[in-house]
Amino acid sequence: MWKVVAVVTAVVLAVGGWAVYSRVNGRPAIDRVIFIGFDGASPNLLEPLLAAGKLPAIKRLMEVGAYGHIKSFRPTESGILWTSVATGKTMWKHGVIDWTYVKKAGLEVPYEDSARKVKTFWEILSERGIRSGTLNWWWTYPAAPIDNGYIVTDRYRLMTIIPPAPETVYPASVFPGVKDLILKGKPKILPVMEREGIPNWKAEDAETPFGGSRKTLDSYHLYFAQDYSVDRASDYLFEHEPVPVFSTYFRLVDVTCHFAYHYVERGLYDETVRLEQEGKLTQADIDKIDQEFARVLTPVYQFMDRIVDKYMRRMDGRTMLILCSDHGFMYSNGAYAHGGLAKEAPDGVVFMAGPGVTKGSRIEGATLFDIAPTILFSIGQPIARDMDGGLLRGAFDDAYLKRHPVQYVPTYETTQRKTGTSSTEKTEMDEKILEDLQTLGYIEDPTDKENKQPATPPSEKPAKKQKRQKDK
């Protein structure tokens, strides 16, 4: 009998990844981690809605778990930030430092998976024999081949405007299940938006006139369709391809915040701008406009709340739920922004709930770099010392941390990470991504550069609207 136990124990210990897991109780307290990313979810906008009872699921999540602000950094560009969330490392280590990069001489393309220099938490987990499913994470295309699990890249959502593209997921066996879950075509999208209570924002309904951000408005139904499609793919895969570590990501809150401040009550807006220009803006004034902007955003935060509700219902007593955003939004220079116009990188939010998490506790001092280490710890894996963050200890009971001491390894970068095959040309998908980034004002429309690059005769250029302000 003891020999059998010894052999079994040896086998368990041999499977490195599960050794830490099994050491303490035989069975881990947590056997599943769900991570949900909400781009741009902001504490100053979320908290008034919580106080007003508008977000019941998120309120419940706070009550059963831990909540805090999460520190973002500059440049506050989502692709950079989410790569830091995935790797636990600064942009100087992970190598994604802008929206685009020059792949070959003169060939400027959106960032791709192959440009990332270090491993994500799901790649580390795969190496350690733990399966994961990752959906819609920034810059995961072309999908790196993962041995344990699947990836639905951030270009899957492009299928809302391009023909079915099986290469946007890995492995190929995942594609048949998700290919028909894309919501496509304005006549189909608008009724779903209405059903979900998402406004079909119109320029003529705005309180303050639209400038450059009008373009986002025109594409808004497509951004909704992207999130809605990802949500459906997430539902499908969560159920049909169960994995110990499941991650998905939504961006509608961020996209909406880029223009929806045009819908705040005009009198209050004008007053806020005046006070700001006179240098008299107080925190109380900012709270007031935050409250009003939160009111405008209610339906979009409620869309987020329904997603949270769904995943909370999927938790059992052994699931850890981690939710965060990459930055928030702040009123600054007459707009709500997180980049150029913002005085600093506005805080995002972080929530955790699950075994060992102190109910109703406050997470202090969290940074984006802490998420990957916290996911690794939660699923019983060592944290790498070369990560720039660590475990969000404040969320956990002391007793739990005593029973499950944090394990460390120096680094997971002792082997080269695997990458997918990247195209040597600028593809149609690259162009669509660039258009998307231009629509949000993140990068310049090439036609904005006409003063700098007079190579093309003006007559050959498309009609040019006014130059957009960056990051509004």
Rule CB under 5 A: which residues touch Zn ion? Answer: 39-40, 78, 254, 326
Q: Which is nearer to Zn ion, 40 or 382 (CB)?
A: 40
Q: How many residues does the chain have?
A: 472
Q: Which is nearer to Zn ion, 149 or 348 (CB)?
A: 348
CA distances from 319 to 336, 410, 411 (A): 35, 27, 26
Token reading at 141: 């295309």
Cβ of residue 127: shortest distance to Zn ion, in angstroms? 28
Contact (CB, 8 A) for 254 and 471 = no
Cβ of residue 56: shortest distance to Zn ion, in angstroms? 25
Label residue 463 exposed, middle or buried (CB < 10 Å: 0-12, 13-18, 19+). exposed
Three-state DSSP at 235 gives helix
Three-state DSSP at 402 gives helix
Q: Which is nearer to Zn ion, 78 or 168 (CB)?
A: 78
Q: Which is nearer to Zn ion, 320 or 434 (CB)?
A: 434
Q: Which is nearer to Zn ion, 81 or 281 (CB)?
A: 81
Phi, psi of 204 (to 5 degrees): -70, -15
Cβ of residue 423: shortest distance to Zn ion, in angstroms? 26
CA pair distance 416, 70, nearest whole angstrom: 30
Q: Which is nearer to Zn ion, 138 or 170 (CB)?
A: 138
Contact (CB, 8 A) for 151 and 169 = yes
Task: Indicate the pairing of strand 245-250 with strand 32-38.
Answer: parallel
CA pair distance 430, 438, nearest whole angstrom: 12
Cβ of residue 19: shortest distance to Zn ion, in angstroms? 37
CA pair distance 261, 337, nearest whole angstrom: 10
Q: Which is nearer to Zn ion, 40 or 88 (CB)?
A: 40
Cβ of residue 76: shortest distance to Zn ion, in angstroms? 7
Cβ of residue 178: shortest distance to Zn ion, in angstroms? 24
Task: Indicate the pairing of strand 169-170 with strand 149-152.
Answer: antiparallel
Cβ of residue 267: shortest distance to Zn ion, in angstroms? 30
Q: Which is nearer to Zn ion, 39 or 436 (CB)?
A: 39
- Measured from the Cβ of residue 343, the count of other Cβ atoms closer than 10 Å reads 10
Cβ of residue 149: shortest distance to Zn ion, in angstroms? 25
Question: Which residue matches tokens 């916290």?
Answer: 374
Q: Which is nearer to Zn ion, 78 or 247 (CB)?
A: 78
Cβ of residue 336: shortest distance to Zn ion, in angstroms? 13
Q: Is the peptide bond before 48 cis (omega within 30 degrees of 0)?
A: no
CA pair distance 260, 258, nearest whole angstrom: 6
- Measured from the Cβ of residue 417, the count of other Cβ atoms closer than 10 Å reads 17
Q: Which is nearer to Zn ion, 127 or 471 (CB)?
A: 471
CA pair distance 307, 301, nearest whole angstrom: 10
By C-alpha distance, which of 332, 130, 145 is closest to 247?
130
Cβ of residue 78: shortest distance to Zn ion, in angstroms? 3
Residue number of the CB closest to Zn ion reads 78
